[in-house]
Structure 1
Amino acid sequence: MAYQNYKKKEHAFQTIGKDLKTGDIPNLVLLCGEEQYLVHWATEQLLEKYINKACQTLDFTRLEPESLTIDSIRESCETLSMMSERRVVLIPEFPPALGQKLKGFSESDEKELLEYLKNIPDTCLLIITAGVPDPKNKKKSKLLTAAAKLGRVYDFGPLSGAQLKSFIVKRFKASGKLCRNSVVELLIEDSGYGNKEIDYNLYNLENDIKKIIAHSSGDEIVSADVALTISTNLETNVFAMLDAISRNRKDEAYRLLHNLLVSGEGVYRLLALISSQLELILEVKEMREEGLGLAQIQKHLGIHEFRIKKAMSVTEKYSTEGLKRILSKAYEIDGNIKTGLLDQMLALELFVAEI
């Protein structure tokens, strides 16, 4: 079977929200993850919770990694706050938290830091932020391990389902705009949020929401506002191309392929997405054949229901064996391009022609 079990967990933004409400925040916090928008949001929430704005310049210190020393960390953490509930020290985007090297910060410095983390004063909150660990790096960060043991790690992944809808609706509501659920779903589908093959995060989504609000008229956001503001994304075009192929409309499929290439999309990225979409369609088809419904499929795959619905719309147009054959052809074409056996453009045209 092409799919694996997926266990849904509470999102980190929900966890830290509860911890902030109860005041259950340790003196060492590591904020990391794919969704940097939420990392920055959590940082601001912690500052708002513990720092008196009137004394922020005295009670809050930001230590840039490039000029970081153990002495500066120790001095900042051990300085007493003036009028705030706790003194807050922030080390943003700290490479050692991901197991990466930092120029000017030696292994002995890291070892000394790990020792000091055991003795952070209760009057201080040390916040360290980072991105996403490199999956190729099998060696786990010592700092990440220490933060989990001595304090708390909040790993912010992408939003999904009701969380994502709430993010969108709140921003429309804050601008005085209403938005029906069907339009919210259209926005999520057209934006491509949640697709690993597209570099699109909450920063991008928020910017698109602002554009939609700016271009809309009246008190309600309608589907036309979304369509006029967000250009059709790569994922949508690839699905459209696969749909055209399933209907034996090769002329339409060629047109969509050429539009993708002319728009500047890289061949390798395009092939990766084609393979990814075919894998998704195959997984969804197999699950449907086993009698699984939308909710069960979403639980297994752990992706947005909008992508699953889109895959469902084309599953009936392909047989399982046909999808496996097309997927094998996509892998073969990818290999032929990378080994130089075929020209990139020719290889993609042959792919469309042969399936």
Structure 2
Amino acid sequence: MFIVLHGEDDFSSREYLAKLLHDPRFVNNVERFDGPGGSLEAIRQACETFPFLSEGRLVVVDGLPKPKRESATKAAPADAASGTKSKRGAKKPSAAAQAKEFAGALAELGAHLPTITTLVIIVAEDLPKVHPLLEVAGAEVRLFAPPTGAALERWISGRAKVEQASITPEAVRLLASLANGQPRLLANEIAKLATYVDRGGTIDAAVVELLVPDSREARVFDLTDALARGERGPALRLLHELLGDGQQPLMILAMIARQVRVLAQVKDLAARGARPPEIASKVGMAPFLVEKTLNQARHFTLPQIEAAQRACLDVDAALKRSRMAPDMALDLLLTEFGHATTVT
């Protein structure tokens, strides 16, 4: 059998692979290869080796070689013009050609496997529709795309059942808004929440907000996002929801200040030409949060963000010196913050 597992949901594809690795049909007859550095001949020999004391043999190839962009300066212009070959009489194939040849050889191998062998290719990205591995007759091809919308909410509910817990619809929606469809992150959080409520317990929104740090940060993000759109009413409503939930004013201020600081960093790095992956690495944020913050930062100029940072410092001093009631101080901060936002 020839199986191709591909797609950006690497967590789910590896869970599927784990089931195969623990299949009793392949006990003591599993071989794994690193695709980018694997030897085709070694993979072929593994596929053709008869299983020992087992029904079948499982061979896993993890990843594929990626074509590298080759600089035009690597090729000598004179040789290119004259068609001169290397000293050994043959030109070395390009990285792209080698990657294509590797995939084609795996496809050929998959098309003629011994009946006792299962060959699995796992790739943590979507393969193009026209790809040798997807064209093998009789292949089992599974695309693992990160769930979104209603599918994501069903996935969260199902994952809670796996962890032997139930979960309320409100908690499901809150978790879905936090992880942006990242199954690996969600699975870790759900396992933690299920442990907290014990087997058979119920995960509700209060438990999520208590144990998942990003739940509070997500609401503060929504608050600053409302300010960026000039919607002071919704921002103030979110503020008072946080206060009503028992959040300490200084804690709320700290989260607002942190979000303003992140806005400043992301805005500055983007202005310097940094791409989202680089920004994520330098700021220490998840890539999907960088995209959200970039969208938010477009509504502010750097001077406006710097003014908001100073306002946060002023409110911090006022709260610590008890010069103003906490809710009034935060109300004034958001009011001034909102007035300072204009679309650039």
TM-score range, shorter chain: 0.5 to 0.7
Mind listing any 5+ residue stretches in structure 1 that lack a counterpart? 1-26, 135-139, 195-200, 278-328, 337-341
Matched, 1:43 2:17: yes
Equivalenced residues, count: 249
Aligned CA distance change for structure 1 residues 248 and 353 (closer, same or farther; 3 Å)? farther
State the match for 1:156 in structure 2.
144
8 Å contact kept, 1:193–1:205: no
Aligned partner of 2:292: which letter?
L
Aligned partner of 1:241: which letter?
T
Note the C-alpha offset of 1:77: 0.7
- Tell me the C-alpha RMSD between the 2 structures: 4.2
Note the C-alpha offset of 1:232: 3.2
Matched, 1:330 2:301: no
State the match for 2:224 in structure 1.
241
Residue pairs, 1:10-29, within 5 angstroms: 27-29=1-3
Distance 1:125 1:184 in 2: 37
Residue pairs, 1:167-182, within 5 angstroms: 167-182=155-170
State the match for 1:216 in structure 2.
197
Note the C-alpha offset of 1:28: 2.0
Aligned partner of 2:146: which letter?
P
Aligned partner of 1:28: which letter?
F
Bigger relative contact order (CA 8 A; separation at least 6)? 1
Note the C-alpha offset of 1:130: 1.1
Aligned-residue identity in percent: 20
Q: Deviations over 1:133-167 (max 9, x none)?
A: 59xxxxx59xx711111024322111235543443
Note the C-alpha offset of 1:87: 1.8
Distance 1:91 1:345 in 2: 49
Aligned CA distance change for structure 1 residues 343 and 74 (closer, same or farther; 3 Å)? farther
Distance 1:60 1:100 in 2: 31
Aligned CA distance change for structure 1 residues 162 and 203 (closer, same or farther; 3 Å)? same
Mind listing any 5+ residue stretches in structure 2 that lack a counterpart? 70-93, 240-252, 271-275, 277-288, 310-336
Aligned partner of 1:157: which letter?
A
Distance 1:168 1:118 in 2: 37
Note the C-alpha offset of 1:78: 0.8
Residue pairs, 1:172-211, within 5 angstroms: 172-189=160-177, 191-194=178-181, 201-211=182-192
Residue 91 of structure 1 aligns to a residue whose secondary structure is strand
8 Å contact kept, 2:160–2:194: yes
Q: Deviations over 1:289-326 (max 9, x none)?
A: xxxxxxxxxxxxxxxxxxxxxxxxxxxxxxxxxxxxxx
Structure number with greater Rg is 2
8 Å contact kept, 2:60–2:121: yes
TM-score for the superposition, normalised by structure 1: 0.56
Note the C-alpha offset of 1:226: 0.7
Aligned partner of 1:227: which letter?
E
- 1:76 aligned to 28, 46, 49, which one? 46
